[in-house]
Amino acid sequence: MPFASPRPFRSLIVVGAIAIAALGVACSDDARPDADPTEGTTTATATASTTAEATSTATTAPGVDPTQAVPEDDASLEAYSALVEDVAAAFPDVTLIEDTGSYAVGDLVGDGRRVLVFGSAADLPTFVEVQQTLRGILEDDGWTEDIAYAADGPTGTLSVWTKGDDTAVLSAGVAPRDPSACPPDQVISACLSELDPADLDVQGSISVAIRAE
């Protein structure tokens, strides 16, 4: 059964997994990879900055009913719904995007629901502050981070969380609204600092694995 906006969601998670695999260079701030992060063919040399590029530039699809195209007996729905309420309360002035799709973070592979905070840097806090808020929501709701999957870089972050039988993926990042504004041969953090906040996309999301019983 098809999932809503599968390519944006998959790009978000798969590129994050690549950044984890390359954690030895994930915090490099010297240059950006040449590969297109939305194509799903990025090599293992990708840095964590690619995570941010994929997450913020590939998530502009309109929101859909998150209950569509998922099993009616999804045991993770309660956990997901609670997180959506908390995210909505934390970002009252932001129209949240909800969708479903595939994810692959290291050896974690499956389908999940995602709640996404997305907007320009003129309207949202920094991606670091967004992810700190989302981390606080997970912690307050009893989720525990699995640090084995953590990946951080100058423009992106990704982490995996568990609560009982449920698994969640937190991702956040920042990228230029126009990818050509920061050519591959430029230091990404320096380039972003020169752009107007309205020209930067900030995002943060929590994806909860669908768990049919």
Q: Provide the 8-state DSSP code for 80.
A: H
pTM: 0.70
Q: What is the pLDDT of residue 102?
A: 84
- Summarised one tens digit per residue, pLDDT across range 57-111 is 333 333 444 444 555 668 899 999 999 999 999 999 999 999 998 888 888 888 9
145-166 per-position pLDDT tens digit = 999 999 999 999 999 999 999 9
CB-neighbour burial class of residue 201 (10 A; exposed 0-12, middle 13-18, buried 19+): buried
